[in-house]
Amino acid sequence: MPDVLQHVSDFPKTARLSERVHRILGMNPSPFTGPGTNTYLVGMNSRFPVLIDTGIGKPEWRELLEGHLAQCGSPRVTRCLMTHAHPDHIGGAGDLRKLFPQIEFYKYPWPEVDGGNGLEAAPISDGDVFWEGEDFMLKAVHSPGHAPDHICFHLVDAEEDALFTGDVVLGVGTTVIPRAGGDLAAYLDTLRRLLELNVKRIYPGHGPVIDNPREKIEFYLSHRLERERQILTELEGGRNTVVAIVKSIYREYPENLHAAAGQSVGAHLDKLENEGRVTRTQDDPPIFSLKT
């Protein structure tokens, strides 16, 4: 679990990452968001670029976006695509609408959450194409696991074959699988699906650009399987609660990271329970044992 805040001061607030893709930093650094949420302008060599995500809603982000568009000669954004409904990715939607009142928002539905976030968005379906020309397109890839509504966006381009991964794959560190809305089995399936796309570059929701996508995704898969083996070993040794397992596996990491680690450990236990490999012997607090 590397220091995701390392070199935050050196991370640029705006960046031209390729001819088509520019990045605007959400200006919300933290131990869990790294330098902040990455928001991306796609199609900066066209008249009306598409925006992916809006950050958490920091006024400086809106100012950066407006200034960068003006500097690049792009007068406005007409469409905004959301990777998922977590606040650090959709929180700036209201500011964006003030800047561009006619903007259209799109996201994959999450009915249990969407009604309370105040965002009116047209639904995204797996495979939808949002930007297309003779030699490029931007295509939605449903990628649940971190959240049920998570969407990655595949830029199929003659110049670059890239994937905008939101929180599924990060520039630094690994993804937390939250107990609320997370599903580790679905997440592993998502990683395998993304691996099959064989993209050349990843634009993550947090952290720097990833230019070794296959190596990164394969590491994510092996990391999760290793965590699973560790958890099974902990259960065999008598550590049968999330707290006890986290304290053992993550004993070399700061305690302020243990709560997030507990979310992922819990997701592993849920997966193992669903597979019939462990049994929940008590609910409050949850206690688990190996199934014999």
Written as tens digits, the pLDDT of the chain (292 aa) is 344 445 566 899 999 999 999 999 999 999 889 999 999 999 887 778 899 999 999 999 999 999 999 999 877 899 999 999 999 999 999 999 999 999 999 999 999 999 888 889 999 999 999 988 777 899 999 999 999 999 999 999 878 899 999 999 999 999 999 988 999 999 999 999 999 999 999 999 999 999 999 999 999 999 999 999 999 999 999 999 999 999 999 998 888 889 989 999 999 999 999 999 999 998 888 899 998 7
- pTM here? 0.94
Question: So what's the pLDDT on residue 8?
Answer: 62
Angle at 271 between CA 265 and CA 273, to 5 degrees: 105
Structural element, H or E, at residue 54? none
Residue limits of CATH 1.10.10.10 in the chain: 224-290
- CA distances, 264 to each of 110, 146, 165, 219, 229 (Å): 21, 10, 19, 16, 14
CATH code that applies to domain 224-290: 1.10.10.10
| CA 68 centroid distance within chain | 24
Question: So what's the pLDDT on residue 10?
Answer: 82
Question: So what's the pLDDT on residue 1?
Answer: 36
Q: What are the DSSP E strand ranges found in the chain?
A: 14-16, 21-25, 38-42, 50-52, 79-81, 104-107, 122-123, 129-132, 136-142, 151-157, 162-166, 201-204, 278-283, 286-290
Q: What are phi and psi of 156, to 5 degrees?
A: -95, 110
Tell me which architecture the domain covering 8-211 has in CATH: 4-Layer Sandwich (3.60)
Residue limits of CATH 3.60.15.10 in the chain: 8-211
Question: So what's the pLDDT on residue 9?
Answer: 65
| CA 13 centroid distance within chain | 19
Dist. CA 177–CA 184, nearest whole Å = 7
Question: So what's the pLDDT on residue 25?
Answer: 98
